[in-house]
Structure formats: C-alpha cells, structure tokens
C-alpha cells in the first residue's frame, strides 16, 4: 500500500524502488480486473495506488519513461500501426563524386543561385541502421514509431521505453525535453548497433542456439522489433538524431542549428557532422568520413548532404519520396573473389529469365553471399563468365550482389560455357522469346512467352501481390504461396489473387482443411484469415501497385491513383490506353513522372483478356477505397497552368515543382485546355495566344498570392 509520504524528500533510488513495486502491483490489479474479471481491491484503493504512482512520476519524471514497461501488458503479438504526421522520406543517391557535384549544381540552378557563390550544405555520416521517429507532447515522450512504408510505421514505444530504462542504457533518448523545446516535437534519427556489440550478440546467440544476424542493421531491426520489450532492452542499441517531423516551433533556422538544438535537448548527435560551403568542401568531408570508417565502430554506408538553410529546403521541396534538398553520397561497394559453381535461371513476375550465379559462399561487407545476379544472357557474354571460374562480386548496401568481372588468369582448365535455355524452366517448357526494344533492336531480356500459363510467373505475381508494400498479407509469405499454389487439395489452391479472398469460404466447404496440413495449425489459419479479411478494403494506390504492371512501382501507382480517384475510372482509362486512344494516353503522360514506359506497360497489361478478367475477379472480392486528393483544397488543383515570360521571385523549375505539388498540371504551351497563364515581363506569343483564346492571365505576384 502507498506510504503517502511526500515524494519530494525521497532519494532517486528510493523513488525508483517504490515506483517499481507500485508499478508491478498496479499491473497485477489491472490484470485481475481486466483479464480475470476478479479484482482484489476496491476502486478507491486502486485509485490511491495510481495517485501515488503519479506523484512519484511528477517528482521524478524519468520514472515515467520506464513506466509503461513495468506497467505494460504482455506482448500483444503484433505492433500497432502509427500514421506519421509528416511522412518519413528516403534519400536519392549519388554513386560517385561527379554525381555529388551534380547535386550541388542542380540545387543552385533550382534556386537561381550564382554558381560561384558559396551555399551552406551540411555533410554527415549515413548510419546503416533503421530510422525511428520519437514524438514528444508537452515535452514528454508520447510514442516512438519505426519508418514502416514512410506513411505508416509500427508503434515500438514499449521497446524504446524499455531501452531507456535498461540498467546500462546505451540508447541515450531523453524521456523529457527541456522547457525551451516546443509543445510538439518529433525527433527522428537512426537506431543502430555497434560492431563490438553486434559480434557479442551473435556470439551469445550462437551459444544459446538463437538466430544469427547477417549484419548489424538486421540485428538492430530484429532487436527493436521484438514483441517482448525485455529482449529489446537486453540489446545495446544506440541512436543518433538527425532530423524531425512535426514541430510546433523551430529552435533554429538551419539544419545544423536544429541538430545542435537536439544535442542541447539531450539527444546523441553525430560528431562528424560539418557545415560546408562548396562541392569541394563536401567531398573533402566525405573523404574524411571514409577514412574514419574502418575504426568508427558502427556501419556507415555513405555521407548525407543537406542544404543548410531551412527556408531554402522549403523552396526546394520534394520529388516523389525524396527531398530535393538532400542526397546520400554512397561509399563504393565492397568486393570479394569467389568461385562460380553454377548458373541457375529464375523466372520473374513479368516472365523475364534472370540468370543467377550460384557462388561458393563468401563474406562481403559482413554478409555471407552465395547468390549474385548476372542480369541477362548479354551480361554473361560480356563478362565471359564460365562455370568453374573465379569471379569478383560486389555488394552495396541493400542491393543484390553482382558479378563484376571474371579473374581471367585464374580460369581453371575445365570451366564450362553456359548455354542460355531456349525453353522456360517451368513444367510447360514454353519457348523463350527475346523482345525487341523500342528502337527495333533485339532487347537483352529473354522472357517466357507463357504469361499467365507459366507457374513461375504466377507464383512471383502472387508473391508480389501479398508482399508488404502491396497487400501486406501477414502469414502469406513465399513458403505459404508455394504451398497453396500446388496444394494437394485442389479446392484449397491459390493460383490468382482473387482466390486468396475466397480461401476461407473454400476451406469451410472442404472436407480436408488447411489446419490439417503440416506447418499450419488452428491459430495460424485463423490469423491468416483475419489478415486476409483486413485487406478486403484496400486503397486504390496499393491496389494498382499490387497488380504488378511493369514499370508501375509504388510512386507511380500513387500518382495514377490520385489522378484517377476511383478504380472504375482508372480501369476505363487503362482500357482506352490499351485500345490506343491517343487522348487517354496523353492524359496519363501529362502526369508527373509518367512517360512512354508506363503507358506502354499499362497498354500491354490491359490488352490481355486474361489479365483483365483476373483483375475483375479480384476487384469483385474487394472494396477499393478511392484515392485521397489532398491537393484538392488548393485553388489550383486539377488546373492546367502555363508559365511564360521571366519570373522574378522564383526559378522556372521551382515554379513548376510548386504548382505540381499543389495538384496543378504545368503545360508548355497555351491551348483551349489551359486554365491559367502566369505571365512575367517579356511574355510573347503565349500571352497573345491566351488573350486570343480568352484564357485568364495573371502576374507572378497574383500567382503567389493565389497559392499562398
């Protein structure tokens, strides 16, 4: 029972001890009340315990951070989802010095900044871990979330609190922020594991028969995403703050100043961050970090450059999922030499046959590599790779390892040339075709001509469909898809996406049940059905992405979904494109970042009767949620605008990017379809045309006032 003594005079240790006892007592009462329906104390007594806990936490705020661990419930079996108030973006890459210089030049051009004038850009290590967003409300940690798909992450608050409360805590995340911090502050950064801690963890895992991690990043991710926060707390994870999400106020007006403020608030920040003034400065700092890399004690995969002034960052804005004001200058890939034991053919979702090098396993950059891509037949010929050869392989970050060259003077006498198959390795042995490129020449890619008849293609298609970024069906991974594709009970097979959604009905009607097969149980089957049901409602953008149309990645799918609004509208447009309707094609190509490749792929997909029928069956099982049109509130959303003459307050690129981000289409010439012409000094024929057609013409200032 609470002592009732004023917590003020308690020593921190006494307070901590009492807090821990109280927390576990309360947890016990919570369990008996909520789960067992068998409380052992009165409500008034319970309230007194709670008040005492709160009094302790008010006097010793750091105890609050530890609270939800000790009070927290048993692992839930799943993380709750958190929608990020400000999306968590990724970065574009520069693979060499020339591309890094291009970045600086591009930024200056966009801002109309004289090429020779210094421009402050920061350079800091790119930590190879996983990003984390920490939200503080009224200066107390409210929740912590992983990046997830950038829009929605996983709530890992109990794990972060457990790390903060661990006896030898290394995470360094403060539970509260000082009084000068704003009311709402989302601090973002990277969670990582040091080399020494990684080696010790793997040694312990080996001893206890636990999972061995491939590299520190996987180990950090695996450790943070534990359902049992106590396991997370036992891993010495660390954190560097480098960015932010929603902020109710800004402590600085530069990138560098923001990070300094984070440091002052108690966050670990990277000591190798520098403010540079030119591309030469940035590259000098890059080389310095590269020199430190072998002894720094944690994995880096490059250097991130960020325009320092936040006002300039705002002007530069974003392209797709990455800011225009930042870039990751990657370190060169790591290389190793090993033997090429065999070449196998894999058939992808679109039927492309990819040769895969089966290698004598070797460690490259801390990861054991036994497969590498050889891309296509031309690449094998270019490398002159023969089975038995010694080959140089390279691995860069997340990228699939590649064979870069053959060590010619180590070629063994018996090395064997590889004959590229002319038939698909699937059971149907369909002929392989070599497509012509748009220029008419023979393309490099060989494709199985079986399309939907080819089981390899169908399986790959199903894998893509159920994958995390598409329908994200938990419990329907590669293994399960392979099982359902060839299920011995025909009534339980899944051979196309629609059949995922009829599986439960079919299982109920079947005498032989999924739960009776090895690898499944009553619980896992119930969970699978629940996961499938959860996805019966799906956003239009995920739906379009999941269809697996060539060249339609997540970003493109989002653009298409937003433009179409609803599925029937998209399908109708796609069918018109398939019928070579010039207007439909032009409409799609007018969208940001959409060109021939996408419209041709859409046409190809929707000319196949089988594909259309399959999509219709699928759509019949689902509720497809229309795309949000966030830009609709903007007065220029959906409008076609034309800029002409010279602009004085912004560059042409900037004006175009801004207009597009507000949902407008920026056209190059004036026509009947133009809604608005923004004319600056020196406007000529376009202005005349606009007057002639009666299109509304405004000045740059009027435009700025309109979109303000």
The residues that are catalytic are 126
Q: How far apart are CA 344 and CA 339, in angstroms?
A: 15
Quick one: tokens of 489?
């009970």
Smallest separation (angstroms) from ligand IVH to the CB of 381: 34
Smallest separation (angstroms) from ligand IVH to the CB of 270: 7
Stretch that binds ligand IVH, among 89-97, 284-292, 354-362, 510-518 (CB under 6 A): 89-97
Between 149 and 604, CB nearer to ligand IVH: 149
341's enclosing H/E stretch is strand 334-347
Between 90 and 234, CB nearer to ligand IVH: 90
Smallest separation (angstroms) from ligand IVH to the CB of 698: 33
Between 243 and 355, CB nearer to ligand IVH: 243
Which of residues 123, 304, 353, 588 is near ligand IVH by CB under 6 A? 304
Between 305 and 501, CB nearer to ligand IVH: 305
Smallest separation (angstroms) from ligand IVH to the CB of 330: 9
Cβ contact 411:385 at 8 Å:
no
Measured on CA atoms in the order 397, 400, 401, 403, is the torsion positive or negative? Answer: negative
Q: Is 256 in the site for ligand IVH (CB under 6 A)?
A: no
658's enclosing H/E stretch is helix 652-661
Instruction: Enumerate residues 6+ apart whose C-beta is below 8 A from 5.
Output: none
Stretch that binds ligand IVH, among 28-36, 323-331, 438-446, 559-567 (CB under 6 A): 323-331
Q: How far apart are CA 177 and CA 174, in angstroms?
A: 7
Closest among 469, 465, 562 to 147, alpha carbons compared: 469
Q: How far apart are CA 256 and CA 248, in angstroms?
A: 19
Q: How far apart are CA 581 and CA 599, in angstroms?
A: 11
Between 325 and 570, CB nearer to ligand IVH: 325
Q: Is 651 in the site for ligand IVH (CB under 6 A)?
A: no
Which of residues 233, 316, 328, 528 is near ligand IVH by CB under 6 A? 328
Q: Is 323 in the site for ligand IVH (CB under 6 A)?
A: yes
Phi-psi region of 475 (alpha: psi -120 to 50; beta: other; left: phi over 0): left
Q: Is 238 in the site for ligand IVH (CB under 6 A)?
A: no
Between 90 and 607, CB nearer to ligand IVH: 90
Smallest separation (angstroms) from ligand IVH to the CB of 7: 40
Instruction: Point out which residues pair with 322 in neighbouring strands.
Output: 319
Site for ligand IVH in 495-554 (CB under 6 A): none
Smallest separation (angstroms) from ligand IVH to the CB of 657: 16
Count the helix, strand and coil residues of the chain and give each as a percent rounded to the nearest 5. Answer: 40, 20, 35
Q: Is 126 in the site for ligand IVH (CB under 6 A)?
A: yes
Stretch that binds ligand IVH, among 122-130, 165-173, 331-339, 549-557 (CB under 6 A): 122-130
Between 91 and 494, CB nearer to ligand IVH: 91
Closest among 128, 161, 132, 160 to 146, alpha carbons compared: 132
Strands 367-373 and 353-364: antiparallel
Stretch that binds ligand IVH, among 71-79, 123-131, 349-357, 674-682 (CB under 6 A): 123-131
DSSP character string of 149-217: TSSEEEB-HHHHHHHHHSTT--S---SB--TTS-SEEEEEEEEE--HHHHHHHHHHHHHHT-PPPSSHH
How far are the Cα atoms of 560, 607, 641 from residue 574, in angstroms, in the given order? Answer: 10, 9, 25
Q: Is 131 in the site for ligand IVH (CB under 6 A)?
A: yes
Between 91 and 492, CB nearer to ligand IVH: 91
Between 321 and 550, CB nearer to ligand IVH: 321
What number of residues does the chain have?
708
Q: Which residues of 659-677 are buried (b: 16+ CB within 10 A; e: fewer)?
A: bbebbbbbbeebeeebebb
Stretch that binds ligand IVH, among 280-288, 320-328, 567-575, 609-617 (CB under 6 A): 320-328
Smallest separation (angstroms) from ligand IVH to the CB of 88: 6
The residue number with the shortest CB distance to ligand IVH is: 131
Tell the burial category of 579 from Cβ atoms under 10 Å away from its Cβ (0-12, 13-18, 19+).
exposed
Between 89 and 288, CB nearer to ligand IVH: 89
Quick one: tokens of 83?
């929608």
Q: Is 91 in the site for ligand IVH (CB under 6 A)?
A: yes
3-state secondary structure 557-599: HHHHHHHHCCHHHHHHHHHHHHCCCHHHHHHHHCCCCCCHHHH
Q: Is 242 in the site for ligand IVH (CB under 6 A)?
A: yes
Smallest separation (angstroms) from ligand IVH to the CB of 297: 15
Stretch that binds ligand IVH, among 67-75, 85-93, 205-213, 374-382 (CB under 6 A): 85-93
> How many residues make contact with ligand IVH (CB under 6 A)?
15
Smallest separation (angstroms) from ligand IVH to the CB of 176: 24
Between 242 and 483, CB nearer to ligand IVH: 242
Q: How far apart are CA 142 and CA 130, in angstroms?
A: 20
Between 299 and 496, CB nearer to ligand IVH: 299
Stretch that binds ligand IVH, among 75-83, 84-92, 225-233, 475-483 (CB under 6 A): 84-92
Which of residues 16, 90, 555, 699 is near ligand IVH by CB under 6 A? 90
Closest among 267, 256, 251, 259 to 134, alpha carbons compared: 267
Site for ligand IVH in 133-162 (CB under 6 A): 147
Site for ligand IVH in 22-61 (CB under 6 A): none
Cβ contact 180:251 at 8 Å:
yes
Stretch that binds ligand IVH, among 88-96, 221-229, 281-289, 514-522 (CB under 6 A): 88-96
Which of residues 222, 243, 365, 401 is near ligand IVH by CB under 6 A? 243
Q: For the CA atoms of 217, 219, 221, 226, what is the dihedral angle to 10 degrees?
A: 180
Site for ligand IVH in 187-226 (CB under 6 A): 190
Q: How far apart are CA 61 and CA 56, in angstroms?
A: 8
Enumerate binding residues for ligand IVH (CB under 6 A): 89-91, 124, 126-127, 131, 147, 190, 242-243, 304, 323, 326, 328
């Amino acid at each position: 029972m609470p002592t009732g003594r004023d917590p003020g005079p308690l020593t921190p240790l006494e307070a901590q001890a009492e807090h821990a006892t109280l927390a576990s007592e309360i947890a016990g009462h919570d369990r008996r009340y909520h789960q067992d329906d068998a409380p052992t104390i009165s409500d008034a007594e319970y309230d007194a315990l709670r008040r005492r806990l709160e009094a302790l936490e008010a006097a010793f705020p750091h105890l609050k951070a530890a609270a939800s661990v000790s009070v927290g419930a048993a692992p839930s079996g799943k993380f709750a989802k958190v929608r990020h108030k400000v999306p968590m973006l990724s970065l574009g890459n520069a693979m060499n010095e020339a591309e890094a210089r291009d970045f600086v030049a591009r930024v200056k051009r966009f801002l109309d900044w004289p090429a020779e004038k210094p421009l402050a850009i920061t350079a800091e290590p790119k930590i190879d871990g996983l990003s984390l967003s920490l939200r503080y409300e009224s200066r107390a940690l409210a929740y912590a979330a992983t990046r997830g798909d950038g829009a929605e992450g996983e709530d890992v608050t109990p794990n972060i609190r457990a790390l903060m409360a661990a006896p030898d805590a290394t995470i360094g995340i403060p539970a509260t922020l000082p009084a000068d911090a704003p009311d709402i502050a989302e601090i973002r950064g990277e969670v990582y594991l040091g080399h020494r801690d990684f080696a010790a963890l793997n040694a312990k895992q080996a001893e206890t028969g636990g999972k061995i991690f491939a590299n520190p990043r996987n180990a950090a991710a695996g450790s943070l995403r534990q359902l049992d926060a106590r396991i997370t707390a036992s891993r010495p994870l660390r954190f560097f703050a480098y960015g932010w999400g929603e902020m109710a106020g800004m402590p600085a007006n530069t990138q560098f100043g923001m990070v300094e403020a984070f440091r002052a608030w108690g966050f670990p920040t990277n000591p190798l961050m520098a403010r540079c003034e030119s591309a030469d400065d940035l590259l000098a700092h890059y080389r310095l970090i590269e020199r430190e890399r072998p002894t720094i004690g944690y994995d880096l995969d490059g250097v991130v450059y960020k325009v320092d002034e936040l006002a300039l960052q705002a002007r530069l804005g974003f392209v797709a999922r990455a800011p225009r004001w930042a870039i990751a200058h990657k370190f060169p890939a790591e290389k190793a030499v090993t033997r090429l034991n065999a070449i196998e053919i894999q058939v992808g979702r679109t039927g492309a046959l990819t040769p895969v090098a089966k290698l004598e396993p070797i460690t490259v950059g801390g990861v054991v590599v036994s497969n590498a891509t050889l891309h296509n037949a031309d690449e094998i010929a270019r490398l002159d790779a023969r089975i038995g050869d010694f080959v140089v392989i390279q691995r860069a970050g997340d990228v699939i390892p590649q064979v870069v060259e053959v060590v010619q003077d180590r070629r063994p006498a018996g090395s064997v040339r590889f004959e590229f198959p002319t038939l698909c390795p699937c059971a149907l042995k369909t002929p392989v075709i070599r497509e012509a490129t748009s220029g008419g020449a023979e393309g490099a890619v060989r494709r199985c001509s079986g399309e939907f008849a080819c089981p390899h293609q169908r399986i790959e298609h199903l894998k893509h469909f159920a994958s995390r970024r598409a329908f994200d069906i938990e419990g329907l991974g590669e293994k399960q898809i392979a099982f359902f594709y060839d299920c011995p009970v025909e009534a339980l097979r899944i051979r196309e996406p629609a059949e995922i959604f009829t599986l439960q009905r079919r299982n109920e009607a079947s005498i032989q049940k999924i739960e009776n097969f090895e690898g499944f149980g009553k619980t896992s089957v119930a969970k699978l059905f629940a996961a499938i049901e959860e996805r019966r409602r799906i956003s239009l953008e995920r739906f379009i992405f999941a269809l697996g149309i060539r060249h339609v990645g997540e970003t493109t799918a989002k653009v298409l979904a937003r433009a179409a609004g609803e599925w029937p509208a998209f399908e109708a447009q796609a069918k018109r494109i398939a019928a070579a309707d010039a207007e439909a094609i032009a409409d799609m190509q007018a969208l940001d970042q959409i060109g021939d490749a996408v419209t041709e792929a859409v046409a190809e997909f929707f000319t196949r009767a089988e594909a259309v029928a399959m999509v219709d069956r699928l759509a019949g099982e689902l509720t497809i949620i229309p795309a949000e049109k966030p830009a609709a509130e903007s007065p220029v959303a959906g409008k076609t605008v034309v800029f002409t003459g010279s602009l004085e307050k912004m560059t042409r690129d900037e004006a175009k990017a801004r207009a597009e981000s507000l949902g407008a289409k920026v056209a190059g010439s004036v026509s009947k379809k133009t809604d608005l012409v923004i004319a600056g000094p020196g406007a000529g024929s376009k202005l005349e045309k606009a007057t002639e057609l009666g299109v509304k013409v405004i000045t740059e200032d009027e435009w700025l006032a309109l979109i303000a």
